[in-house]
Structure 1
Amino acid sequence: MISTKRKYDYLRIGLASPEKILSWSYGEVKLPETINYRTLKPERDGLFCEIVFGPVKTNQCQCNKPKRPLTGPMICEKCGVELTDARVRRERMGHIKLQAPVVHNWYLKNTPNKIGLLLDMKTREVSSIVYSASYIVVDPGTVDELEKNQIITEQEYGRYRQTYGSRSFKALTGAEAIKKMLQELDLKQLSEELREELSQDKITKQRREKANKRLNIVDAFLHSGNKPEWMVLDVIPVLPPDLRPMVELDGGRFATTDLNDLYRNIIVRNNRLKKEYEIGTPELIIKNEKRLLQESVDALINNEGRGNKSSKRRGRELKSLSEILKGKQGRFRQNLLGKRVDYSGRSVIVIGPELKMYQCGLPREMALLLFKPFILHNLLEKNKDGNDLTPNKIRATEAKEMIETGHPDAMTELEKIIVDHPVLLNRAPTLHRLSIQAFEPKLIDGKAIRLHPLVTTAFNADFDGDQMSVHVPLSAEAQAEARILMLASKNILAPKDGNPIVTPTQDMVLGNYYLTIEDPNDEREGKIFKDPYELELAYHNKVIGFHTRVALPVASLNNPRFTEDQLDKYIITTYGKYLFNTIFPVSDDPNKAIPYICDQSEENLSRRTPNKYLVPKGTDIKKFLKEKYESPRPFPKKALSKVIAQVFKNFQINETSKTLDKMKDLGFKYATMSGITVSISDIRTIEGKEEIIAAADEEVKEIKFKEDLGFATEEERRQNTIKVWTKAKDDIKKLIEKDVALNSTTNNIYMMSDSGARGSIDNFVQLSGMRGLMAKPSGEQMDIPIKASFIEGLSMSEFFVSTHGSRKGSTDTALKTAESGYLTRQLVDVSQEIVISEDDCKTDKGKKVHPIFDTDDNEVLGYKVYQAYLDDPINNPKPSSSNLQGVKLNLGQRIKGRFASQNVYDPVTGELYVKKNEFITEDIATAINASGLWEVEIRSLLTCNTQNGVCVKCYGSDLSTSKVVERGEAVGVIAAQSIGEPGTQLTMRTFHTGGVAGGEDITQGLPRVNELFGAREPKGKAIISEITGTIKIVDKQADNRTRIVVQNEIETKEYLTDVGKVTKLQVGDRIKAGDKLVEGLIDPKELIRVSSVAAVEDYILEEVQRVYQSQGVGIADKHIEIIIRQMLRKVKVTDAGDTKLIVGSLISRAELQDIYQECILAGKKTPTVVPELLGIIRSALRADSFLSAASFQETTKVLTEAAIRGKKDYLLGLKENVIIGGLMPAGTGLVDGDYYINENQEEAE
C-alpha cells in the first residue's frame, strides 16, 4: 500500500529572536578549542563539547564509564555528559553569547538594503555606523547644532565632546546604535505616514518609488510578527558538530570544516572583548574589537569576496554558511534536489542486435552486485526450508562469499530474481524523460551493457564509447511504475511532438531500403508464382533475385484490405518486398490490417494497395513490365517512419514494438547480405565541373576589373564575388543531384544517402564537387573559394582557409550545450509546479489558432488565399500546399489532440466536425485542415481557470500515448524538457548581413528563444502602433528616416523611424494597435502595454515555433503555452482600492481572486491591476514557494525576503516536496489517500 497523506501542511520561515535561538541551544560554547591533541577527546566548553552536544560514542561518557543498557537518558555525575545515542550530535545546537550586538550580514549587504529602507538611510551610512566609522545622534541633549538621528563623523563626534562635554548629548556607533533605532520604530505609525505620503498627488516618481519600497517592508514586518531589531544578533546559534566534522587524516593531522575556523574567530574575538570590558580598556580599543567581532560574524554568514586575512586559510577563502547553501555545489542543489543512490552501476554500452525492444544486456558481474540483497535473502530463505541446523550467522557470511565468488547457486538465484525485476538505464546528459527508461535485464558475459539499437535515438546514444548507468527500482511500487510506465517498448512516441522516436536508423534503414528496390534490368523478371511459398523456393534456387519483378495471385496474400475486385488479379512485387510485408501485424479486420505495401503513398499506407500494381489474370507480365509499369522508389527512412506511425495508429503500443523489432532484424540481416560498402571508386568527379569553375573565374576577374577602374567599392566587389561562387557551387550541386537520381539504386554511397541511412547531397558536393566558400571566425563569408573537392585533394592554402570553419563548429557546439542546459533549468524551474489537477475547469474561453508561416509576409498572403476561398468557394481554389507558401505548421497539426472550445462546422457544407468541449482526434483534425477553415477556437492552457495546475480539457492529449492526458501528469516538467531538449540542435548564430543597407543582424536560434522567454527587448526592435486606426502620412525625410502618422476618430499619433528602416505601409492602410510600422522584432512588453494579453501570448508562441520549425524541430503548442502561462501569472497593482495592497506590487492571479471575493462580500472598492509579463528567470524567482525560488538562483536574497515576510510555503510544487523528502504531488502522489497495487497477471509479452 502507498499512502500519500501529507506529513506537513506548510513550512514557515521567519527571523529568529534571541529567545528562540536560546531555546534551540543545549548549552553555550565558551572556548575556541576543538579536541585535545593528546587524548583526541572533545574539549570541555569547546566547539565539540560533549556536555553541550552529546556523547561521541553511544551511551559512553567522557570518563569512559562502562556502557550499560539504559532505560532512559542519564547524566554522568563525574563528567556531566548525557548517556544517550551519538546521533544527537547531528541535531543538538549550541550558542555563543555575544558581548556586543552584531548586525546580520544578509539584511545589511543584500540589495535592497532592508535596514537602510526601514530607517530611511543610505546603505553607505548604515555601513559606516555598523563598522564604527561614524556616529548617530540618539539624543541631541543641550547641543543645538545636533538633531536626533543625525549622522556625524568620528572627528565631529570628538569635537562636540570636547566643546560640550560627553554628558551633554548622546551618540552611538556600531550595531548597538542600529538596534536602538530599530527598537524605537513605531511600525504602525510609519505605515500610516507612508500611505498618507503616497496618497498625495504632487509626489515625485522617485519619492513614490522609495515610499512604496519602504511601505512594502514595513507591512511585511507588521504582518509577519517579526520584530525589526531581530535583524541584529545578540546570540549566535552554533551548528551541531557532526554537520561540521573534524576528520583524522593518515599522518595524524586533522582536516576540519571551514565553519569551525569561522566559529573559532568569533569566539576568540568575543572572549577578548569580554576581557577588555572587565579590565576597563579605553573606548577606542573596545570600539575596534567590536568592529572585528562584527567582521568575524559577517565572515561566518557570508564570506564571499571579503579581502581580510582572518577569513582565509592558506590563501583560500573559507566557505561560509551562505556559500554552503548557494550554487551548484550548495546544500539545495547538491544534497536536497539530487542525491547519490545505492544499487547502481555504470559501464560502457555496446549494441545488442539480438535483444527485444524491452530488454537490455546486463553483465553478470554487475547484476550479482546490483541484486546482492535479493540474492542474499533468497539464499538465506532456502536455508530455512532445509533440515540443516547450522546457525544462520555463518550462513550469512557464506552467502556473501557465494555472491562475491559467483557461486553457481548464487547465479541460479540471480536468474530467478531477474525474471520479473526491471532495471532503469540512464544516459547523461538526461535532457528529457526518455533519457531514463526501464528494461528487463538479460544476463550476458563480458563487462559492457548491451543496448537495443532502436532506443539509441531517445537516449541520444551511440556506440563510440558512451557510458550508461543502471539503477535498480527496489520497492514494489517503483517496480510497478518501471514496468507499466517506463518500459522501453512503451515509450515509442516522443513527448515533445507525439511522433515516433524509435524509427530505424543507419544500417536498419539501409537493409529495408535494399529489400524494397526493384531492378528493371533483371532478365529473369515477369514470372508468375502460385503463392509466396513457391516464390521463396524460386529465390533459394536462384531462379529469381531479391529485386526481380514477379507476379503473385492477390488471393494468396491473405490480406483483408484487398477489395473483391482486386482479389481476382495478380500483384506485381519482388521477393524483397514480400519479405518486407511479412513484418506487419496480422488482423482479420479490414479496417485495422495494414495493406500490402508497394509504395510510400498515403493511399497505400492507410487504405489499400493502388490498382497500378495489379494486373488482370491472363496479362503478359513481361510485356506489361517493359511497356506500362513504372517501378516505385525504394523505401527511405521517412517512409519507414510513416509505416510505423500507421501501425501504431491501427494496433497500439505492443504490436508496434514487435513490428519495430522485426523491422530491425530484417534491416540488419539484409544490410549485411547486400554487401553494400563504401569505396573510393563510388565517388566520381562530376563532368562539367571544370567549365563551371572556369566561367566563374572569368566573372570574378571582370568584377575585380570594375573595382580597379573605380566603378565599384571594395564591399560591392566582395558581395558580387560571393554571389558568383555561391551560384557556381549551386550549379555543381545540381549536376550531382542529377547523377544521384540516376544511380541511386546502383551506386553504394548514393544508396546510403538516398535511403536516409547516412550522408547527404551536401556531403557529395564537398566530396566530388567543390568545397566552396568558407566562413571567417567572425561569421562573415570569405570571398576566396576552395575550388577543389576532397577526392581531388586540397592545396596547402585551401587547407588553411578551411580550418576556420572547423574550429568555429567545435567551439559553437561546446558553448551551445552549456547555454541550452541553462535554458532547460530555467524552464523547469518556472513550470515545475504545473500538474494536471482536475478534469474540467469549466472555462468558456478559448484560443483561436491558425496555420503558422515562416514569415509575416507569407502569413498575409496565406490569409488572403483562405479568405478568397471562404468568400467564394466555387470560383476560388481550396488552400493547399500548391497555393500556400512557407507553411511551417498547418491547422490540423495545431488542433490535433486538443478539445474544441466551440462547435466547428465545414465552411461550405455546414457539416458539424466536432462539438464544443469534445476531443479533436487525428482524423477530425485532418478533415478540418482540408476544409479550408483559416482558424479554429480550441481550449487552451492560456485560458485555463484551474488554480494550482491545469485541467485535462485545456491540455488535451498526452503526446507520448496519444490518448487524453490523465490527472497527476507532471505536464510542467514535460513542457520544459520538450523545449529544452532540442535546444542543442538550435543554432548559436546571429546572422550578419554583411553591411547591406537597411538590414539588421537577425537574431535566430537559441539566443532568440532566450530573448523571447526572457521577455527582453529584442535586437533590431520594430516600432509598433499604439492605436488602432488608418495611416494618414508616410513621409520620407531628408535624413533617411520616415515619418508615419496614424489617426483614428479620437487621437493622432506620429512616429519617426530609425535611419534606413523601411516601411511597407501605404497611406490609407488600416492597422490595429500592436501592428508593426517597420520591419523588425516586436518588444513583448511594449505589445502588452498597447494591445492585449492574447496578442502577446500569440506573438511569443508563434515566434518560438518559428525558431524551432526553421531548424526542423517539432514542438507541440501546449508545451510553449505552459511556459507563457507562467510568464503571465502575476499582475501589477495600479490602484489599491479599499485594500492594503501596495501600488506597483506584483501579486498572483490566485491571490487576486481571493482579494476580489473579500472586497465584493464586504462591499469595498476592488483594486485595479494590469497584466505583467515576467521573463522566466524573474517569474521563477517570484514563485509563491520560497523553497523553489531559493533552490533556483539568488538563494540568500530569496531567503532574506521570505524570512522578513514570515512566508509560508504550502508545498504545492514538485521541488518543494523533493527538498523536504516527501512524495511529490504528481502521479500517484497527487491526492491524499491510499493506493493498493494489484498484481497484474496479464503482462504484455
Structure 2
Amino acid sequence: SFHVLTKELNGLGFDLRVERQKDFFEAKKDRVTIRIAPPMVIRSWSYGEVKKAETLNYRTFKPERDGLFCERIFGPVKDWECACGKYKKQRHRGIICDRCGVEVTTSDVRRERMGHIELATPVSYVWLFRSSANWLGILLDLSQNTLEMVLYYERYIVIDAGNTPLKEKELLTEDEYRDNYSKFGSAFKAGIGAEAIQELLKKVDLEREMAKVKETIRKKGKRDHISRRNLVKKLRMIEGLLKTQVKPEYLVTSVIPVIPPDLRPLLPLDGGRFVASDLNDLYQRVINRNNRLKKLIKLQAPDIIVRNEKRMLQEAVDALFDNGKHGTPVLGKGKRPLKSLSEALRGKQGRFRQNLLGKRVDYSGRAVIVVGPELKLHECGLPKQMALELFSPFVLRELRKKEYFHTLGSAKRALEENRPEVWEILERVTRGHLVILNRQPTLHRLSIHAFEPRLIEGNVIRVHPLVCPAFNADFDGDTMSVHVPITIEAQMETELLMKANSHILSPANGRPIVTPTRDIVLGCYYLTFMSDHEEYGAGRGKKDAGIIISSFEEAKLLYEFKQLELHRPIRVRDEEGKILITTVGRILFNEILPPEIPFQNRLVNIEVLEDLVKKVFEKCSYSKTAKFLDDVKELGFKFATYGGLSIGIDDLKVPELKKKMIADRQREVSRIEKDYRTGLISEGERYN
C-alpha cells in the first residue's frame, strides 16, 4: 500500500523520500520528506516519454508502442518475454530486445515503472492556487482571481514594466496589451498563462524575500491580524521551499508524470469489451490536447487558436490532478465524474484511510458484542473458536513443548480437528495473556482497552456492562475488534498502561467514566430505600421510629430468616457505638464499601454512586476501586431482580383535567349532531 501511495504521489508531482537517520542514542529512525518534484526529477523517474493516447491495439490486444501501456516504457506484459517474442525464458534476463526495445524481465515492473508527458507549454498545479490556501498567490502577492485570469488566458500580466508607466504584475486586457505594445514596443514585457507566472517566479529571490517578510512582520506587530496571518503563511512557504531546495519556478511544470500501468489497469470482460481506470481517460485528454497544441504551434496557427488550446491543456491537467477543482468536472459514462489522482487519496475510500490506516492485521478478529454481567471489570468473554485462531502460534508452541505431537504438521492437524488436548492448552495459554478490544471509531484513548480473555461458547464477544460508556458502546449490533499482543514488550505495555481496571476516570474532565447505570442503579436504589409505612413507625417521633436491634450481624440474620423486611426502618448501633436509624438493605450495601469509606446511611441513586466511585478512587487503590465496581454491579443486578420492579398503567397518574376535556368535547359533538338532524347545518359543515 505504501508503494502504491508513493507512486500516486509521484503522479501528482510530489517527490516522496524515506530517509534513515540516527538520533542522539544511535537509534535508527525513518523519516518521510515530501516536496514538489522538479522537472529533472520527474524525468529521472521516467523510463520513456508517452507520446500517444492509444492503449491497446484493437486487433492484437497488445499495448501500442509509445502509448499509455507501452511495453518498451513500462516493461513486458508476460514474464521474461519481450513484445515481439524474440527473447523468452529467464536466461535472457536483463537483455533489451533490438527489434521491439522491450527489456526481458518480470511483469511486476509494470507496477513500478513510470513514464512522462513532455508538455508543449508550462502548466500550473491546480492545488497550488485552488486549495484552502492560495500558495502560488501568497508567494507572488496575487489574489486567486487574478491568478486564475492569467492562468486561463483571460488577462495579460506585466512581467517587467521597464521605463513605461505600467506597473509590475498589473493586469491587461487583450485591447490594453495591444495598445501598450503599439505605444512602447519591446520596452515592457507582459505574458499570459502559466508561462508568464513561471517568468514571475524566476524573478523571486527567496533569501531576500524572506528577510523582507520578517521585517514587515516585525513592523506590523500584533495589530493587523489578517495581514500578519498572510505574511506568516508566506514566510512558512519560503522557508519550506528553501529547506527542500525547490526553486520557485518549479511550482509551474512542463513535465507530467505518468503512473505505472498496473495501478490504472485495463481489464478484459466477456464479449470482447474492456473496463478501464478513469485515470486512462484523463491521461488521454492531456495527451490528445498536448499533441494538438504541438501541431498548431508547428503550423503557426493564429495566436487566438493556440491560446485557446493552451487553456484547454491547463484544464485537462487540472482534471487529471483533481477533477472538479476548477470548473465543471469531466464526466464519463453515465454522467459520472471521473476519479482523478487526488480522488484516489482523499476520503473514506481513499488510499490513506482505506488502505494505510484501515489495514487488516494478523492475530486480530471482529465480532458483535453482547453484555456479560458475570464478568469482572478486567475480563472479556472471547468465543473459543476465535481464541483458537488468535492464539494458534502459542497453542502450537505448547503442543510441541509438551510433546503431544512431534512435528509441526501433526500439531496443525490436531488444531484443525479440535482435539481435547488443544482446548486444555488454549485454556492455559489464554490465562493471564491480555487481549486488546477496540471499538471503531477510535476517537480517544478510552476506545481501546486491554482485558483478560475468558473462553466462552458462541460467536459473540462479551463485555462488562460498566465499560460501555468508555467505549460509547451499546448492544444493538455494535462490533469490536480483538488484537493479540505478541511480543513481551507489547504484553508488558498492555498490562501496565491499557488494562480496563486502570481507566476509571475520564481524561477529559477527571470524573469517573466507569459508573454504574440503569439496572445497577435501580437495584441499589431498591436496596437502600427506607419505607415510611405506618406500621413501621410513621406518625411517631423520629427517635422512636424502627425496631431496636443490637448489631449489624443480628439484622442480617433476621433478614436471612425472613423475620425482617428489607426496607423496614431499624435502630441499630454502628461499630462506634452510635445509634443509627437505617435498614437491612443499607447495611448490605455498606458491606461492599472499602474500610476507608464511612457508613453510607442514605438513599443511593446515580449521583450518590458516582460520588462514591470518586471517593473510593481517591482514597483506595485501582484494584480496590475495580473490586468495588464489580461488587456494586453484582449487588445492583441481584436486587433489581429480587425487586421485580416494573411499570403498569396503574402507576400512571391521570390528570384531573382529562375528564373535563373529554366531557366538553362530547357535549360539543352532541350539539353538532343535533344541529345536523334539525337541518341547521349541512353535511359538509357537520365535519368541518
Could you say which residue in structure 2 is the equivalent of 1:694?
Answer: none
Residue 523 of structure 2, aligned match among 502, 506, 511: 511
Counterpart CA distance in 2 for 1:377 and 1:218 is 56
CA pair 117-474 structure 1, distance change in 2 beyond 3 A: closer
Residue 448 of structure 2, aligned match among 429, 432, 436: 436
- Say whether residues 1:473 and 2:484 are aligned partners: yes
Tell me the SS of whatever aligns to 1:52: helix
Contact 1:573–1:598 (8 Å) recurs in 2:
no
Counterpart of 1:576, as a letter, is G
CA offset at residue 208 of structure 1? 9.0
Contact 1:138–1:172 (8 Å) recurs in 2:
yes
- Say whether residues 1:262 and 2:231 are aligned partners: no
Tell me the SS of whatever aligns to 1:299: helix
Residue 676 of structure 1, aligned match among 645, 657, 660: 645
Contact 2:318–2:325 (8 Å) recurs in 1:
no
Residue 588 of structure 2, aligned match among 579, 593, 596: 579
**CA deviation string 1:1184-1207 (max 9, x = no partner):** xxxxxxxxxxxxxxxxxxxxxxxx
**CA deviation string 1:835-862 (max 9, x = no partner):** xxxxxxxxxxxxxxxxxxxxxxxxxxxx
Could you say which residue in structure 2 is the equivalent of 1:446?
Answer: 458
Counterpart of 2:652, as a letter, is I
Counterpart CA distance in 2 for 1:430 and 1:471 is 13
CA offset at residue 582 of structure 1? 3.0
Could you say which residue in structure 2 is the equivalent of 1:15?
Answer: 36
Counterpart CA distance in 2 for 1:543 and 1:147 is 104
Could you say which residue in structure 2 is the equivalent of 1:175?
Answer: 194
Residues 30-429 of structure 1: pairs in structure 2 closer than 5 A: 30-35=51-56, 42-54=63-75, 62=83, 68=90, 80-82=101-103, 88-110=109-131, 126-135=147-156, 153-154=173-174, 172-184=191-203, 223-224=242-243, 225-247=245-267, 253-278=273-298, 281=301, 283-307=303-327, 312-327=332-347, 329-332=349-352, 335-336=355-356, 339-341=359-361, 343-371=363-391, 381=400, 386-387=405-406, 398=413, 401-402=416-417, 408=420, 411-429=423-441
- Per mean C-alpha deviation after superposition, the further-off stretch among 488-497 and 641-650 is 641-650
Counterpart CA distance in 1 for 2:641 and 2:305 is 89
Contact 1:508–1:668 (8 Å) recurs in 2:
yes
CA pair 50-289 structure 1, distance change in 2 beyond 3 A: same
Could you say which residue in structure 1 is the equivalent of 2:626?
Answer: 657
Contact 1:348–1:449 (8 Å) recurs in 2:
yes
Contact 1:76–1:83 (8 Å) recurs in 2:
yes
**CA deviation string 1:1114-1172 (max 9, x = no partner):** xxxxxxxxxxxxxxxxxxxxxxxxxxxxxxxxxxxxxxxxxxxxxxxxxxxxxxxxxxx
CA pair 639-299 structure 1, distance change in 2 beyond 3 A: closer
Tell me the SS of whatever aligns to 2:115: strand
Tell me the SS of whatever aligns to 1:455: helix
Counterpart CA distance in 1 for 2:525 and 2:280 is 69
- Say whether residues 1:635 and 2:637 are aligned partners: no
Contact 1:135–1:157 (8 Å) recurs in 2:
yes
Counterpart CA distance in 1 for 2:469 and 2:128 is 50
Contact 2:319–2:329 (8 Å) recurs in 1:
no
**CA deviation string 1:175-230 (max 9, x = no partner):** 334434443556677789999999999xxx99998996998599659845433322
CA pair 528-304 structure 1, distance change in 2 beyond 3 A: same
Could you say which residue in structure 2 is the equivalent of 1:1138?
Answer: none
CA offset at residue 95 of structure 1? 1.5
* TM value normalised by structure 1: 0.43
Counterpart CA distance in 1 for 2:496 and 2:420 is 32
- Say whether residues 1:482 and 2:494 are aligned partners: yes
Counterpart CA distance in 2 for 1:280 and 1:663 is 89
CA pair 479-172 structure 1, distance change in 2 beyond 3 A: same
Tell me the SS of whatever aligns to 2:257: strand
CA offset at residue 294 of structure 1? 2.1
Could you say which residue in structure 2 is the equivalent of 1:599?
Answer: 601
Counterpart CA distance in 2 for 1:195 and 1:422 is 55
CA pair 355-37 structure 1, distance change in 2 beyond 3 A: farther
CA offset at residue 287 of structure 1? 3.7
CA offset at residue 467 of structure 1? 0.8
What is the aligned-residue identity percentage?
45
- Per mean C-alpha deviation after superposition, the further-off stretch among 646-655 and 422-431 is 422-431
Contact 2:373–2:465 (8 Å) recurs in 1:
yes
Tell me the SS of whatever aligns to 1:317: coil
Counterpart of 1:320, as a letter, is S
Tell me the SS of whatever aligns to 1:480: helix
Tell me the SS of whatever aligns to 1:515: helix
Counterpart CA distance in 2 for 1:496 and 1:210 is 31
Could you say which residue in structure 1 is the equivalent of 2:617?
Answer: 648
CA pair 116-429 structure 1, distance change in 2 beyond 3 A: closer
Tell me the SS of whatever aligns to 1:100: strand
CA offset at residue 469 of structure 1? 1.0
Counterpart CA distance in 1 for 2:580 and 2:368 is 48
**CA deviation string 1:614-656 (max 9, x = no partner):** xxxxxxxxxxxxxxxxxxxx33333333333333334311122
Contact 2:138–2:230 (8 Å) recurs in 1:
no
Give the gaps of 5 or more residues in structure 1: 555-561, 586-591, 601-633, 691-769, 771-785, 797-1245
CA offset at residue 360 of structure 1? 1.8
Counterpart CA distance in 2 for 1:548 and 1:171 is 98
Could you say which residue in structure 1 is the equivalent of 2:635?
Answer: 666
* TM value normalised by structure 2: 0.74
- Per mean C-alpha deviation after superposition, the further-off stretch among 346-355 and 518-527 is 518-527
Counterpart of 1:315, as a letter, is K
CA offset at residue 471 of structure 1? 1.9
CA offset at residue 348 of structure 1? 3.6
Could you say which residue in structure 1 is the equivalent of 2:19?
Answer: none
CA pair 54-412 structure 1, distance change in 2 beyond 3 A: farther
Contact 2:214–2:235 (8 Å) recurs in 1:
no
**CA deviation string 1:985-1039 (max 9, x = no partner):** xxxxxxxxxxxxxxxxxxxxxxxxxxxxxxxxxxxxxxxxxxxxxxxxxxxxxxx
Counterpart CA distance in 2 for 1:206 and 1:665 is 59
Counterpart CA distance in 2 for 1:210 and 1:522 is 75
Length, aligned pairs only: 628
Contact 1:195–1:215 (8 Å) recurs in 2:
no
CA pair 192-497 structure 1, distance change in 2 beyond 3 A: closer
CA pair 282-545 structure 1, distance change in 2 beyond 3 A: closer
CA pair 156-575 structure 1, distance change in 2 beyond 3 A: closer
Could you say which residue in structure 2 is the equivalent of 1:1083?
Answer: none
Counterpart CA distance in 1 for 2:201 and 2:386 is 63
Contact 1:358–1:487 (8 Å) recurs in 2:
yes
CA offset at residue 299 of structure 1? 1.8
CA offset at residue 599 of structure 1? 0.9
CA offset at residue 659 of structure 1? 2.3
Counterpart CA distance in 1 for 2:274 and 2:665 is 63
CA offset at residue 268 of structure 1? 1.9
Give the gaps of 5 or more residues in structure 2: 1-22, 538-544, 667-688
CA pair 189-578 structure 1, distance change in 2 beyond 3 A: closer
Contact 2:586–2:601 (8 Å) recurs in 1:
no
Counterpart of 1:435, as a letter, is S
Tell me the SS of whatever aligns to 1:495: coil
Counterpart of 1:660, as a letter, is L
Counterpart CA distance in 1 for 2:459 and 2:406 is 38
